[in-house]
């Protein structure tokens, strides 16, 4: 079944689209040229079968992650999402390995918000054992994950934890960290506008983080004037 799925991707490659997709991703990876709608269609029936598995096949995930074309990493993420209910606390180490390998925002952000986030919600002990360590490390993608893992938590966001992680990493010139800080603040402002306003006011953040984090605050303030 795995080989059939992989072969279906190879058989549907599109060199022209592959060139365009690689250019969009700053030539970080080669592509087959399979855009998301077709990728989902090719994998649809296989994902139904995968959901019947009792455990995640990490050998399959590793195989996909080792393949050259970026669509295979996307396929690995789709596979993990299909079996998300099967993720165990111990799987965080495997997820961490994916985060630091073939790293770019396109896989990191999904892993952070849709895999690590739900795992930490189910196993909150992962925050102290992994998230806080990641946030203090030197890998920008682990730091970005630590900033973003609560992105979908809304009113269940631990604002104190969010603020702590942001302040630990706000003194950097790294684009992907400052962008993540702004994104996290912007998203949380939909739930707790006053907290985000006070946080931005009382902390030194990059102009990028402030601009991104204030997006909805500014629109609301402008709307209130009319």
Q: Is 176 within a domain?
A: no
Residue (of 95, 85, 36, 93) closest to 61 by Cα position: 95
Tokens, residue 93: 């180490």
Q: Is 17 within a domain?
A: yes
List Cβ neighbours of 202 (8 Å cut-off, separation of 6 or more): none
CA–CA dist 143, 95 (Å, integer): 14
Residue (of 94, 90, 89) closest to 77 by Cα position: 94
- Burial (0-12, 13-18, 19+ Cβ within 10 Å), 59: exposed
C-beta neighbour count of 195 within 10 angstroms? 17
Q: Is 19 within a domain?
A: yes
Q: What is the pLDDT of residues 131-166, one digit of tens each?
A: 999 999 999 999 999 999 999 999 999 999 999 999
Q: Is 157 within a domain?
A: no
Residue (of 114, 148, 156) closest to 131 by Cα position: 148
Q: What is the pLDDT of residue 182?
A: 98
Percentage of the residues of the chain whose pLDDT score is greater than 70: 96
Q: Can you say how many angstroms the Cα of residue 204 is from the centroid of all Cα atoms in its chain?
A: 25
Confidence of residue 223 (pLDDT cuts 50, 70, 90): very low
- Asked if 176 and 167 count as a contact pair (C-beta separation under 8 A), the reply is no
Q: Is 207 within a domain?
A: no
- Asked if 92 and 128 count as a contact pair (C-beta separation under 8 A), the reply is no
Tokens, residue 55: 């455990």
Domains identified in the chain, total number = 1
Q: Is 181 within a domain?
A: no
Domain with residue 26: its CATH number is 1.25.10.90
Q: Is 61 within a domain?
A: yes
Confidence of residue 87 (pLDDT cuts 50, 70, 90): very high
- Asked if 44 and 79 count as a contact pair (C-beta separation under 8 A), the reply is no
Domain of residue 45: give its range. 1-86
Q: Is 149 within a domain?
A: no
């Amino acid at each position: 079944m795995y080989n059939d799925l992989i072969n279906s991707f190879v058989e549907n490659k599109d060199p022209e689209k592959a060139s365009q997709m690689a250019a969009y991703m700053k030539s970080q990876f080669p592509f087959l040229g399979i855009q998301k709608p077709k990728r989902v269609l090719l994998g649809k029936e296989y994902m139904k079968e995968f959901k019947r598995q009792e455990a995640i096949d990490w050998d399959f995930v590793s195989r996909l992650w080792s393949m050259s074309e970026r669509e295979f990493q996307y396929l690995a993420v789709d596979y993990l999402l299909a079996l998300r209910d099967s993720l165990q606390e111990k799987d965080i180490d495997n997820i961490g390995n994916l985060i630091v390998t073939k790293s770019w925002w396109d896989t990191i952000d999904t892993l952070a918000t849709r895999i690590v986030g739900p795992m930490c919600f189910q196993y909150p002990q992962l925050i102290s054992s992994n998230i806080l360590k990641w946030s203090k490390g030197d890998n920008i993608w682990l730091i970005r994950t630590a900033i973003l893992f609560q992105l979908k938590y809304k009113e269940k966001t631990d604002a104190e934890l969010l603020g702590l992680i942001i302040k630990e990493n706000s003194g950097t010139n790294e684009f992907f960290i400052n962008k993540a800080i702004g994104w996290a603040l912007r998203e949380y402002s939909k739930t707790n506008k006053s907290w985000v306003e006070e946080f931005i006011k009382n902390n030194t953040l990059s102009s990028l983080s402030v601009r991104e984090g204030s997006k909805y605050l500014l629109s609301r303030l402008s709307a209130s004037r009319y």
